[in-house]
Chain A
Amino acid sequence: EVQLVESGGVVVQPGGSLRLSCAASGFTFDDYSMSWVRQAPGKGLEWVSLTSWDGGSTYYADSVKGRFTISRDNRKNSLYLQMNSLRAEDTALYFCAKGVGRFLEWRDPFDFWGQGTMVTVSS
């Protein structure tokens, strides 16, 4: 059974930093791209970042480019999101999500999602 478990969400002040983690199990982690997607309270879904299966390619939404860094450790079956220079508008539930196709990064939707970890940016 595929499981994705996020952690690391807390209340942080504007300008602060945070590192989110996602522990994966139940599938061959290093065969699939992984993404972070966020959802502000009561709002829709916003894709944040994606890393290819081997970590060699990374992509970011314009809203986080230059502030967030996605990474993965395939030995630990883990995905990370380093978040710097946090803003109030980054407040959201952050999901990690698995790509559908093996060794794909482009043109690939998401088939499994974690339960999310809440990040609140507030003074």
Chain B
Amino acid sequence: DIQMTQSPSTLSASVGDRVTITCRASQNIGEWLAWYQQKPGKTPKLLIYKTSNLESGVPSRFSGSGFGTEFTLTISSLQPDDFATYFCQQYNTYWTFGQGTKVEIK
């Protein structure tokens, strides 16, 4: 099974900060990685697929990069609406999620 490890688990940041979340796969998953945003009591929202492709309607301050086993999600300038939990997901072999990174207000 492919394991996905996100870091950090919690991130404290301020509005306007540049934020980076890392996701590591236990084996090579190529470019088959997605990022989701989940707010309390809400369903996950697909932000990025195939490592770096923005889902329709997602602000351009979100970007993704990486290949193989190491990936990053970057928010270039954190906005109030961005405080949430972010999950990575590999879909190269079955589907596995990272444990999540909570972005909280500093």
Contact = CB atoms under 8 A, between A and B. Distances in A.
Interface residues of B, number: 20
A46 B100 CA distance: 11
Given A45-B87, A62-B1, A109 B97 contact: no
Interface residues of A, number: 22
B98 A44 contact: yes
A113 interface: yes
Given A95-B43, A108-B91, A109-B34, A47 B49 contact: no
B8 to A, nearest CB: 14
B68 to A, nearest CB: 15
B97 A114 contact: no
A103 B36 CA distance: 22
A59 interface: yes
B104 interface: no
13 contacts: A35-B95, A44-B87, A44-B99, A45-B44, A46-B97, A47-B95, A62-B1, A109-B95, A110-B34, A111-B46, A113-B43, A113-B44, A116-B43
